[in-house]
Structure 1
Amino acid sequence: MPTVAADSHDASDDESDRAYQLVHGYDETQVISVDPIAGDEPVEEFYDARDPDGQSRSSLGTSEYQEDDKSMLMLYEGPDGVSLVAVHDKYHEDRAEGTRGGSLSWTVSGLPEDGEWAVIDDDPGRIEDDSHDDRFYIDPDHREGFSETDGEPPGRADALLSWEWSTGETDGVAYRGLNQDASITITPGFNEESYRRHDDQQDASSPADGNNGTVDDWVAIVPTDDGFERMDFHHTHEPTRIRSTSEPTRLGEMTLENDSIDPGEPARITAVIENPGDTDWTHEASLRIGDSELQSQTVTVPAGEERSVEFSQQISQTGVYEIGVDDEQRTLTVGDPESSDTDSEETTDEQAPGFGPAVALIALCVVVLGARHRTNN
């Protein structure tokens, strides 16, 4: 059975130490850090595509992650490396209990050169004529593991994957090759926006009329210490990037403009975010006083470059504060601490120093100055 622990099998240290993130949206503001589901079996067995009724295959191995009318996206790490896995909808042994199926397509770019298609559900090579519902258009440079393709994808895409599935079934794919630096972009088409959509004139009240249901949500499967959670992507019509790196972004130089300010004067901090890796990476920088997060900024740093973020925080109460970005902090003196009322500086475990009734004592005038670009020479 799959587990959450990344070291539950003989994966290499390089793979286990890798960082992965799912970055969603045109503005890249939804960032999900994710570890692969880990197991001792190859991803083909984890997916476990079967043809129980002799009609169409479904994924039985991913049943615990499936939900009706949802498309699940996850990472899986087996003995042969890390794979991107997608499963659409939920399998029902009694097909009449399932949804009316659906349609969904992906336009994919950024596939790694050494990757391979571990599972194609349903592989067009299984059907001798041109009557198959699923269509897969794969660039010649990315056909490893693909027995047959419907042609080349449009434009500069690496692949166009188009699925249709019927009542009580699932569809999906597993692509192996994320144990290397990678940035894969998926632009989805859900339901009517899919590349191919089954005849919508079927009787929607009849369970037998499949393929024309709807997929309502796009969901990331995120392992946790005691299982996993499902995290919805904000939009089903915007792209998601799956990124893998052995060297994620890190905090570089951090500068506190002044280490002593007057009450009500803003404290200004500049932090440099470095990306030593070969993959673009999205970093969420947090401004903190003590253990309390006051602001955050999300910035995408191209591979081998750096970006700067600037914060401005107004503090009205006299005192000495530890302020900084992420885990790096500096000492900031506001006014003359010796003249402040000792009672007003008492805190609880749930408050940052000097943050009593916070609205009255500290004016949290958040001024996000954005990301200032700077490139290494």
Structure 2
Amino acid sequence: MTHSKLGSLIIVSVLILVVLAPVLTFASAPATAANTSDTADTYVVEQGGECILLEPHGDGTETVEAFYDYRTPYTDPSAWDYSSYGTEHLQDNQVSKVFVYEGAEGTSLVFLHDERSEDGEPQPYGSTITMQISDLPEGVWAVQDDTYQNDSQDDNWEIGDSSTTVDWMWQPDRSDGGAYRGLHGMDAEDAITVDPSFNEEADHWGEWNWSGDDDNRTERWVARSGDGTETELDTTEPITIQRGICGADETAPEANADVSPTTVAPGEDVTFDASESTDDLGVEGYEWEFGDGSEPATGETVTHAYAENGTYDATLTVTDGANNTDTATVPVTVEAEDTDAAPTAVLEAPESVMAGEPATFDARNSTDDEGIVSYQWTVDGASVDADGPTLERTFADAGTYTVGVTVVDGSDQTNATTTDVTVEAAPDEPPMAAASADPTTVAPGEPVAFDGTASTDDGEITAYEWGFGDGNASDGATASHAYASAGEYEATLTVTDDANNSADATVPVTVEAEETDDDSEDESGDDESDGSDDADDRDDSGDSDDADDSDDSDGPDETDDSGDDSPSSSPSDGSPSSGGSSGGTGGAAPPADESSSASVSQTDDGRLVVTVENAAEGEAVSADVPGDENATGLRSVELVPDTDADELNVTLSPSDDVSAPNGTDAGLYEVRTENGSTVRNVTYRFAVDRAAIGESGELRVLAGDGSNVTALNHTVVENGSTTVLDATTADVDRVVVAAVAPDVSATAIGTNGTATAGEPATVEATLANDGHLDANRTVNLTVDGAVVDSQTVTVRAGETANVSFETTFDAAGDARISVAGTEATITVASADGSTDTEGDTVTGGDAESSDTDTESTDAAPTSGQSTELALAGLGILVIGAVGLIRIL
């Protein structure tokens, strides 16, 4: 089939039109000249002295970008055919179209070439077109079809200040084109020129893969109007686009007159408005005749005052650029003022007021010729119980309220007015913290009652947090704490309100060791104190040497009410005689003058025994754990007993030899409790060496029994080289500190199509995250050890993600590439195609970790295997077959 003559194209088009007449409408261009305008809503195309009317597509609600809907693998939604999806209903195979689109951000000139394959229906053949577009109004190329990742293109776009040259190149089953937004700014004298070069005349004809033969051609060029009319254009002649209509303007304007007010007194101004008048090319003139014999006035909006009573008809005449006219008439009634005039309502009010504060609305300046007899008030349209000239109102909530007043005179004539008042939310004041301690001077081990109930806030206090100044803390409006050692302490109360404002208050506490006689002590450490020194000794040494003192109040010669002064058993080797079981000298609550205290001792086998003296049900008691503060381990525990007892013992078995629980990547530390049934809950304070977590890792705390554990909420209290955190749980059988971290590696690498020396090539890789924490990685592509491209990619935990790189191989032969620790060798063909490959040639390579592959990653490299096998096994790329990405 021969395509070199335009005549044959027209014949073919006519034949096709006969068949498709029920679907498409084609029109011949009328031999009329354009009539241009600054304000016309239509546009015209002129070619060879013929004029074609173009009504815009679109209704101004959607941008041209959304209407064109250009999709690539990197857009959302995505597609692999790099085509327009929004213009599918306008596309025809091997046909180029030009039309106008009215969008939400202005009017655009749209070029649309060929048709994409839809629903598996092939649209054979591609082609190339060159167009020189000049005298463009101020605007922007809102759509540049064939834009790829990294702003690369097959098409050539040379964009100047007011001109653009485009070489469009596309392959079969795809569309191409572009959209220039700015036609809405055209004046009557503006004209855009489009000089086309189709087929053999195109700059890249024969160079582009899909051109240079009788099949890959553009058969027709048409101008399409918004009403569906398509008019054939000569592919060898330029066209111009202007704003206006074809032929003479024979359409008269439509006059629309408005007047305000319609009834006035003599001498009162009346406003006449013609702004709603319309014309297809714009109204050029407005003339008003007021019907009272006065001189006419011109202008879209005018004012006039009538001197005498009467009814007048004001006539508006509008004229367009072709001297077409239309008229409209409005009546005006002029009558003298009634001697009994209606009142005039005047309302004065503040523009804004604070919620909760009274606001005064004042209508006392309202007037009437005979006096106002009543005032009727409303708030947001609802009547309020008030009838005086002022209204005082307090608004509880922030917002905008409308207050209205209607004034009534003695003749029952009324007048109303309203005003809006903005009620602003009252500023939320921070709370006022107040803390007290009783007593403020105590002996070691003696409880201090802390009270923060005197704290106040304009809203509600939601949290009380106590820091006792010795490393221990608690919460609640009241708290009790016993200091283990003598010294000066400052307890701090932090209160937080419902607006998250906070305030602090401090209270000093003095802890003094009681003085003892020199001859009251011997080398065994037996003294006659109240027992608090023994608790202190346990904190310092880790052992309980004087357990029998727990029942003494004032000395060894005095007994309690029960008469039982026998000492509880205490081991001499550091192991509790209770064998770790919980228990005590009874279930009774401690006497009123004794407080709970706790100490920690360590057995020979590494277990920790927490001994609680004078345990009280529900009353928390804490103890520090001896050891290296910088090492990973347990620093302190806080127990809440579930029963009253003279003494409770809870045995903890810590270990740093921990397997990773399900859902984590590393076990760091665990504590198992052998006999935790006597406590309601335990708060553990752990210290973790930050190096054990890794730069990109996070901590998790889990609790449960055996391997079935659940995550706990935890609070980080220090975060330096050592991370210190608190976690509370009632499930104390097993508490584990674990870490989660990303583990990213490349599982597949390959090139898209044959890699040829000196030509751009795409390298594809699949990254897998085998860790339990999402990763955001900058991944490098290296070729022969040098970084040539980098991409940032997010890989969700337990998922994979694909990444693409662009590079150009300098020379033919084997090239060593690496991505995220996985290396492979590819064969690069010479420019003359001496390497006979259809797809990428990938040979097996050892998976060697490379410092340049990734940044901020701790992923290990994959095992050495053939990249070809790895890719095929994943179903991502089959060597020698079709590539993963588009083929240009």
TM-score by length of 1: 0.49
TM-score by length of 2: 0.22
Higher relative contact order (CA 8 A, sep 6+): 1
Higher-Rg structure is 2
